[in-house]
């Protein structure tokens, strides 16, 4: 094997793949359209499998020791509640939660990786003669388009999100579910709080966003109000939510897709970035172990496609469940009952 790869995109998926391949002795070129890694961004939940993958590609320690890592021990103070402040469920004790700020994660992943910035790849065909090409170019991936055409373009989920970070901590974290809307609150280190809000909507909204957020969420009780009071217009990120249709394969010819290019998903389970890290670790391992590139790519597809496509579906269903417009009382009653039944098991 020639052990050379061209990676299109220096996001979480591309950089995880670059690290993984480099650790297996590959020479890697990373092409990124932006002129630098982002210096701002919100928190990403890190599930245990992603934390293990970060360690496997040698970025775990750097991420954990960065100022951007937050840890909630035993799920303390995490609950699901209604806009009126009624608790539907408290977090099961014992499950630690890890979160990392996107810029801190990207910086940890980018250590020792050479990135060619200001390099937009409009035509991935230019790299058809490379030994291995990795399409890590996100939700609206040109690499995916080249491999599978228009039919597999990202499709809108009929929902939009706002997110940001505010100064100071708050006394509780979790999500608040209302008909057609949710608001989430997580820590962002010792002195900051991360928030996100979603509603069902067919398209995004023009700025200013704060008046709309205040109108929609400003009357919600307790901690939401506390967070809302600290949000400033300049710090609000806003975008539509999309998912990748179910691809027949994550590879074709000499090209593999990773991250959102392969499986963009709704954010309601907090899995997209996690799965992008796991993809990168898995792709490096698969091609390093195999005797031919074809065998390595087939092993990667087997290891990652079914699982991540299940998560795309589960994330979409979770969003529908959280933001359902009718039957909310019945749903809340079921959640409340489950919470009560689980209490003796977890306290």
Ligand X SMILES: Cc1cc2nc3c(=O)[nH]c(=O)nc-3n(C[C@H](O)[C@H](O)[C@H](O)COP(=O)(O)OP(=O)(O)OC[C@H]3O[C@@H](n4cnc5c(N)ncnc54)[C@H](O)[C@@H]3O)c2cc1C
- The residues binding ligand X (CB under 6 A) are 8-14, 31-34, 44-45, 120-121, 136-138, 142, 161, 163, 196, 259-261, 267, 270-274, 276
Minimum distance from residue 318 beta carbon to ligand X (Å): 12
Minimum distance from residue 341 beta carbon to ligand X (Å): 27
Give the C-alpha separation, 189 to 67, whole Å: 7
Nearest to ligand X of 142, 252 (CB atom) = 142
228 within 8 A of 164, measured Cβ to Cβ: no
Minimum distance from residue 332 beta carbon to ligand X (Å): 24
Minimum distance from residue 291 beta carbon to ligand X (Å): 28
Nearest to ligand X of 52, 292 (CB atom) = 52
Minimum distance from residue 307 beta carbon to ligand X (Å): 14
* Burial grade of 188 (CB within 10 A; 0-12, 13-18, 19 or more): buried
Nearest to ligand X of 13, 68 (CB atom) = 13
Output the DSSP codes for 319-344: HHHHT-SSSHHHHHHHHHHHHHHHHH
Strand, coil or helix: what is 302?
helix
Nearest to ligand X of 271, 290 (CB atom) = 271
Nearest to ligand X of 138, 296 (CB atom) = 138
Q: Is the alpha carbon torsion for 313, 314, 317, 322 positive or negative?
A: negative
């Amino acid at each position: 094997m020639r052990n050379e790869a061209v990676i299109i995109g220096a996001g979480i998926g591309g950089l995880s793949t670059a690290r993984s391949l480099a650790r297996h002795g590959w020479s890697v070129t990373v092409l990124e359209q932006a002129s630098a890694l982002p210096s701002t961004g919100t928190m990403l939940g890190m599930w245990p499998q992603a934390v293990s993958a970060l360690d496997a590609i040698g970025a775990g320690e750097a991420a954990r020791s960065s100022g951007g890592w937050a840890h909630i021990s035993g799920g303390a103070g995490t609950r699901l509640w209604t806009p009126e402040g009624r608790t539907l469920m408290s977090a099961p004790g014992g499950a630690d939660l890890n979160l990392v700020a996107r810029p801190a994660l990207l910086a940890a992943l980018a250590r020792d990786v050479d990135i060619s910035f200001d390099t937009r790849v409009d035509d991935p065909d230019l790299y058809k003669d490379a030994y291995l090409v990795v399409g890590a170019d996100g939700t609206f991936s040109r690499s995916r388009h080249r491999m599978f055409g228009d039919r597999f373009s990202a499709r809108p989920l009929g929902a939009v999100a706002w997110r940001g970070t505010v100064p100071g901590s708050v006394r509780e974290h979790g999500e608040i579910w209302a008909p057609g809307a949710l608001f989430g609150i997580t820590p962002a280190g010792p002195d900051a709080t991360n928030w996100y809000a979603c509603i069902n909507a067919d398209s995004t909204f023009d700025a200013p966003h704060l008046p709309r957020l205040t109108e929609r969420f400003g009357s919600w009780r307790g901690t939401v109000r506390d967070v809302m009071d600290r949000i400033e217009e300049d710090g609000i990120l806003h975008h539509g939510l999309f998912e990748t249709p179910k691809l027949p394969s994550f590879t074709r010819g000499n090209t593999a897709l990773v991250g959102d290019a392969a499986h963009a998903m709704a954010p309601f389970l907090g899995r997209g970035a996690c799965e992008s890290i796991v993809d990168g670790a898995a792709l490096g391992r698969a091609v390093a172990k195999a005797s031919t590139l074809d065998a390595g790519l087939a092993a990667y597809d087997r290891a990652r496609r079914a699982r991540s496509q299940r998560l795309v579906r589960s994330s979409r269903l979770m969003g529908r469940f959280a933001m359902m417009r009718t039957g909310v009382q019945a749903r809340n009653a079921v959640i409340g009952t489950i919470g009560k039944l689980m209490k003796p098991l977890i306290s």
